[in-house]
């Protein structure tokens, strides 16, 4: 009867898979099952999965056709539905975790009587950059506070221990990029409150071969679609502070995409995105509209300061003015 189901979605990550799985097997808390979802890999990943399963009876392997990142996570969730485990946790196969990942997150959830516990992460380019996490006390936090204060953390599936019951009504969209951003915040808001650990127990590998670092295509606009859904969710459910944050996120993501698009290859996408951004600005904040009419966009850091209560006319710091870039023509 495993207490925790660890789900590792895998697609062509043979170069990193051993590092990932070894870090899970080195956990100080050992009462878990490990579900490896081979999502249509064409490299040696399937063979590695089978070898690990042969060496440890806690490990099960699912081999399936490529259903995309969302489909691989869904397969793992479906596989543990009837398991005796109480908790679910994710680890991406090119990342790795601290030996205390399971123990500290489980303890945090139990001590605070919450259905979700969340830890911080380090974004690293090599194992040498991964430091040892210091001990931190669990802080009780609302899902809305996490969304506003740790926005990236609030939409990633990893770095969190979930009560398995939370996933009864949730699955990831298949066939979309940024699939996590459509779902994770909903699971956290369904929990309501969570235990937050400032310790970085998760090592997010800045993989240059990952989907998000490849050449821009219109499929990447799924992230903007997810941000729009987040705005609507916050508005419909009365989370005013989170709604304001979602508005800012939407504008920043739209602005982020524009300079990444090849103007010759996707001219229509640039036009459409600029129109979306103009409409968003018109509807959501008048101060931004004034600057948009001057054909400039304010960087994200500056945006947050302005909307934090400062009057637009007071923001005359030359250091910020140097960061202003043209995106709306």
pTM attached to this predicted model: 0.81
* Residue 18 banded pLDDT, cuts 50, 70, 90: very high
Pairing, β 160-163 against β 116-124 = antiparallel
Share of the chain above pLDDT 90, in %: 59
- Name the DSSP class of 156: -
Domain-wise residue ranges, the chain: 4-212, 215-312
pLDDT of residue 32: 98
Look up residue 16 and give its two tokens.
């990193």
Q: Flag whether pLDDT at 326 surpasses 70.
A: no
Helices (H) and strands (E) in the chain, counts: 12, 9
For 4-212, which CATH superfamily applies? Spore Coat Polysaccharide Biosynthesis Protein SpsA; Chain A (3.90.550.10)
pLDDT of residue 297: 46
* Residue 216 banded pLDDT, cuts 50, 70, 90: low
- Separation CA 102–CA 117 (nearest Å): 10
Q: Flag whether pLDDT at 220 surpasses 80.
A: no
Per residue in 85-104, pLDDT (tens digit) is: 999 999 999 999 999 999 99
Q: Flag whether pLDDT at 306 surpasses 60.
A: no
Q: Which of 31-40, 208-217, 247-256 has the highest mean pLDDT?
A: 31-40
pLDDT of residue 67: 96
Between 22 and 298, name the one with better pLDDT: 22
- Separation CA 177–CA 7 (nearest Å): 19
Give the mean model confidence (pLDDT) for residues 319-328.
Answer: 32
- Separation CA 321–CA 319 (nearest Å): 6
pLDDT of residue 129: 65
Q: Flag whether pLDDT at 4 surpasses 50.
A: yes
Per residue in 119-167, pLDDT (tens digit) is: 999 988 777 666 677 777 899 999 999 999 998 889 999 999 999 999 9
Helical segments of the chain, H only = 14-25, 45-55, 68-79, 101-112, 143-149, 184-191, 222-236, 240-257, 267-284, 286-292, 300-307, 318-321
């Amino acid at each position: 009867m495993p207490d925790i189901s660890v789900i590792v979605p895998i697609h062509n990550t043979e170069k990193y898979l051993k590092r990932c799985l070894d870090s899970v097997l080195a956990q100080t808390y050992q009462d878990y099952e490990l579900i490896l979802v081979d999502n249509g890999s064409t490299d040696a990943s399937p063979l590695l999965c089978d070898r690990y399963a042969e060496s440890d009876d806690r490990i099960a392997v699912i081999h399936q056709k490529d259903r995309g990142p969302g489909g691989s996570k869904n397969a793992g969730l479906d596989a543990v539905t009837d398991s005796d485990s109480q908790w679910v946790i994710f680890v991406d196969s090119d990342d790795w975790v601290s030996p205390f990942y399971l123990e500290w997150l489980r303890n945090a959830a139990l001590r605070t009587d919450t259905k979700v516990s969340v830890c911080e992460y380090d974004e690293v380019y090599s194992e040498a950059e991964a430091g040892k996490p210091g001990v931190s006390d669990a802080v009780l936090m609302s899902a809305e506070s996490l969304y506003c204060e740790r926005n990236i953390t609030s939409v990633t599936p990893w770095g969190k221990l979930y009560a398995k019951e939370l996933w009864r009504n949730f699955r990831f969209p298949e066939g979309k990029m940024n699939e996590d951003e459509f779902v994770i915040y909903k699971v956290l808001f369904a929990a309501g409150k969570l235990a937050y650990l400032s310790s970085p127990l998760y090592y997010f590998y800045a993989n240059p071969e990952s989907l998000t670092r490849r050449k821009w295509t219109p499929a990447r606009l799924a992230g903007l679609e997810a941000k729009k859904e987040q705005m609507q969710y916050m508005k419909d459910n009365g989370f005013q502070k989170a709604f304001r944050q979602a508005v800012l996120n939407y504008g920043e993501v739209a602005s982020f995409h524009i300079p990444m698009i090849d103007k010759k290859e996707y001219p229509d996408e640039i036009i459409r995105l600029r129109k979306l951004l103009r409409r968003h600005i018109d509807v959501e904040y008048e101060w931004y509209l004034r600057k948009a009419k001057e054909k400039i966009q304010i960087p994200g850091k500056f945006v947050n300061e302005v909307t934090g209560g400062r009057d637009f006319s007071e923001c005359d710091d030359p250091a910020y003015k140097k960061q202003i870039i043209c995106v709306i023509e």
